[in-house]
Amino acid sequence: MYVAVKGGERAIDNAHAFLAEERRGDPAMPDLSVGQIAGQLKLAVNRVMAEGSLYDPGLAALAIKQARGDMVEAVFLIRAYRTTLPRFGSTVPVETGQMACIRRISATFKDLPGGQILGPTFDYTHRLLDFKLAAEGGMPAAPEAPSRPGPVPHVTALLDRDGLIQRETDSGTPAPDLTRDPLHLPASRALRLQALARADEGFTLALAYSTQRGYGRTHAFVGELRIGMVRVSLDLPELGFAVEIAEIELSECETVNQFTGSKTEPPQFTRGYGLAFGQNERKSLAMSLVDRALRWRELGEENIGAPAQDEEFVLMHSDNVQATGFLEHIKLPHYVDFQSELELIRRLRAEAAK
Amino acid sequence: MTDHAYNFAYLDEETKRMIRRAILKAIAVPGYQVPFASREMPMPYGWGTGGVQVTAACLTPGDVLKVIDQGADDTTNAVSIRRFFQRTAGVATTEATTEATLIQTRHRIPETPLTADQILVYQVPIPEPLRFLEPRETETRKMHALEEYGLMHVKLYEDIARHGEIATSYAYPVKVGDRYVMDPSPIPKFDNPKLSDSPAIQLFGAGRESRIYALPPHTRVVSLDFDDHPFTPSKADHACDLCGAAESYLDEVITDDLGSRMFVCSDTDFCRTRREAGQVGRLGGTLEGEAA
């Protein structure tokens, strides 16, 4: 007979206890430490920091542990924590030209000031399962070269000196904050980049890929990809000068895009820009392609109706915390709405049968 | 049992002020969707974050909170949201519509008429009534500004041409104060008449979409229709099998795999109150079941 849907509170408690048990897994196996996650699953930690918009490897590792490795859930945990943090101010823009690079490559010049540094990359590895990793065992240390003195200028700065690439100017306006103001469209490039920096990696990747296959093609070359530590400084009004407060790891990508000119702009190279926390190569690369595709209006290019050119489409659907929440909410009870649909369909069918 | 690590009702006071400003603006312009800087909440987008933020901004320590989902106090998400405010605000909670000062709801308006001392907060998934006719926010905002609602009327007309009636059974669009077309959230159209001329304040929060809108007390709210096809609220053509109410909105419950079913009030407080007063439906009689 009728089972009233009572007992929701107890069911929720029990489900959460079950979840906690499943998260821990076999108690005979050692518990995974946050330090192990931060140290050995660093790229996962980086992704959670980037899409969570919070630079804290320890918390990101904790979120991954709590989320049982579900990356979007981990991003959500970090976002929900981040939103409660007080804001003291904005830092001075980081100087990526001064980055201590562990990796720096250019696909546009064979050699260049500062050199090509491969760094810790999967590129050129053969994707063969390494069964040695399944067994316990130490690793031989990687050979080390002395750090190379001298500046590592941006590739685009070299092109800029010759006037070959569109000059980016500082608008002088304070950076907008997507998390403190509702998104208004059309969005400035700064705001678009902010949204893309926290956008889902998979979504950004798919959009970037679509531009390569002709849906808003932008002819991108990787002018430069650099990964390394940069210093973060904050202006302290009481002191009257900026104080270095932290060092963070960033991935920065600048694409150099062919541009044959338009009614408003002369032929020149243009750029797409990508920046993400940590070593986050795929994300920063994809972001720079999408950024460039979204710039069609300011450059007077044709809008061919490609998804990656559509600012509203991209910005409204790039956030995985929003997307997953709304997608998964259809698991919630909808029986009131469904009931009204049932009645409607029955009525329409009765009408049609007449 | 409040959680002292967080501010009263979770949100910090600056955020509450920002939300209250949006609410005041929404009340000043009934039916207009006010953008607000929606925060990331510790529950997922699409699960009531807009309603939760509006409730958090309105709650005072003296409030008595009721949370319903599908009309019921004991559905899982209603339980979760009620617990959230018990934990972060320590306010009294109730299941009785008449005792509550603030009611957060998803998909229903309580059957018991509301009073001037009450606030009803709706959780809204898609605040834009024109969204499924025009996906672009930039366009729909323009349409509202110009009061350009032709597209909506064409849609309703096409429904009639095709089906003989308007084929929208929930989230049925309304016109507010003769100005803005508004989405009443996915309440069944049975509830639409309760929107109009209510003595209570009605607030609508859409977290993911960063919008708040409102109906001040005694606002005229008209469900869109045509002279020759007037709006009709509809419900299952039955009485409640537990309490016998003929005028309440009913859920259909499948009771076996042979097509047997029963109909029960979706508003659990309304149904229980009636049964406690001795009303009995076709299958009612005892209040068992509820101990399960």
Q: Which of B48, B205, B207, B243 is catalytic?
A: B243
| pLDDT computed for residue A163 by the predictor | 86
pLDDT of residue A3: 41
Residue A233's H or E segment, with its range, is strand A220-236
| A265 has a pLDDT exceeding 80 | no
Q: Taking CB atoms and an 8 Å limit, are A336 and B36 in contact across chains? A: no
CA-based nearest residue in chain A for residue B267: A336
For residue range A232-244, list pLDDT tens digits in order: 999 988 888 999 9
What pLDDT score was predicted for residue A253? 98
Which one has a higher pLDDT value, A66 or A353?
A: A66
Tell which of B15, B76, B243 to mutate to test the A interface (max A CBs under 10 Å): B76
Residue of B81, B163, B169 to mutate when probing chain A, most A C-beta within 10 A: B169
Give the model's confidence band at A259: pLDDT under 50 very low, under 70 low, under 90 confident, else very high. Answer: confident
pTM equals 0.90
Q: What is the mean pLDDT of residues A334-350?
A: 90
What is the pLDDT, as a whole number, of residue B291?
A: 38
User: Does residue B256 belong to the interface with chain A, where contact is any CB pair within 8 Å?
Assistant: no
* Sequential pLDDT tens for chain B (292 residues): 455 678 999 999 999 999 999 999 999 999 999 999 999 999 999 999 999 999 999 999 999 999 999 999 988 899 999 999 999 999 999 999 999 999 999 999 999 999 999 999 999 999 999 999 999 999 999 999 999 999 999 999 999 999 888 989 999 999 999 999 999 999 999 999 999 999 999 999 999 999 999 999 999 999 999 999 999 998 888 999 999 999 999 999 888 888 888 999 999 999 999 999 999 999 876 554 443 3
Percentage of chain A exceeding pLDDT 90 = 66
For residue A182, say if its preceding peptide bond is cis, omega within 30 degrees of 0: no
Report residue A167's pLDDT band, with 50, 70 and 90 as the boundaries.
confident
User: Which pLDDT does position A5 carry in this prediction?
Assistant: 47
Lowest mean pLDDT among A11-15, A266-270, B3-7, B286-290: B286-290
Best of B18, B39, B40, B248 to substitute, by most chain A Cβ atoms within 10 angstroms, is: B40
Please report the pLDDT score of residue B163 as a whole number. Answer: 87
Question: Is residue A56's pLDDT more than 50?
Answer: yes
User: For residue A151, what pLDDT is reported?
Assistant: 83
User: What are the pLDDT digits (tens) for A68-106?
Assistant: 999 999 999 999 999 988 888 889 999 999 999 999 999
Q: What's the pLDDT tens digit per position in A26-49?
A: 999 999 999 999 999 999 999 999
What is the 3-state secondary structure of chain B?
Answer: CCCCCCECCECCHHHHHHHHHHHHHHHHCCCCCEECCCCCCCCCCCCCHHHHHHHHHHCCCCCEEEEEECCECCCHHHHHHHHHHHHHCCCEECCCCCCCCEEEEECCCCCCCCCCCCEEEEECCCCCCCCCCCCCHHHHHHHHHCCCCHHHHHHHHHHHHHHCCCCCCECCCEEECCCEEECCCCCEHHHHHHHCCCCCEEEEEECCCCEEEEECCCCCEEECCECCECCCCCCCCCCCCCCCCCCCCEEEEECCCCCCEEEEECCHHHHHHHHHCCCCCCCCCCCCCCCC
Nearest C-alpha neighbor of A305 from the set A318, A316, A315, A296: A296
| Whole-number pLDDT of residue A198 | 97
Q: Which of B80, B255, B292 sits opposite A12 (nearest CB)?
A: B80
B3 near A CB under 8 A: no
Residue A2 predicted with pLDDT over 70: no
Residue A196, judged by CB atoms within 10 A of its CB (0-12, 13-18, 19+), counts as buried
Out of A86, A325, A335, whose CB is closest to B47?
A325
Contacting residues of A for B137, CB less than 8 Å apart: 185, 312, 316
User: Using one digit for the tens of pLDDT, what is the confidence trace for A135-152?
Assistant: 877 788 888 888 777 888
**Chain B contact set for A336 (CB, 8 A):** 70-71, 107-108, 170, 186-188, 249, 251, 266
Q: What is the dihedral of CA B73, B79, B85, B87, to 10 degrees?
A: 140
Domain boundaries of chain A, sorted by first residue: 11-82, 96-120+149-166+183-318
Query: Mean pLDDT in chain A?
Result: 91
Nearest by CB: B169 against A9, A12, A344: A344
The token pair at A149 is 């003195």
Question: Which residues of chain A have a CB within 8 Å of the CB of B78?
Answer: 8
Q: List A232's β-bridge partners, or say none.
A: A246
What pLDDT, on a 0 to 100 scale, did the predictor assign at position A91?
A: 92
**B58 included as an active-site residue:** no
| Residue at token pair 């399962």 | A129
**ipTM score assigned to the predicted complex:** 0.84
Taking contacts as CB-CB distances below 8 angstroms, the residues of chain B near A324 are 44-45
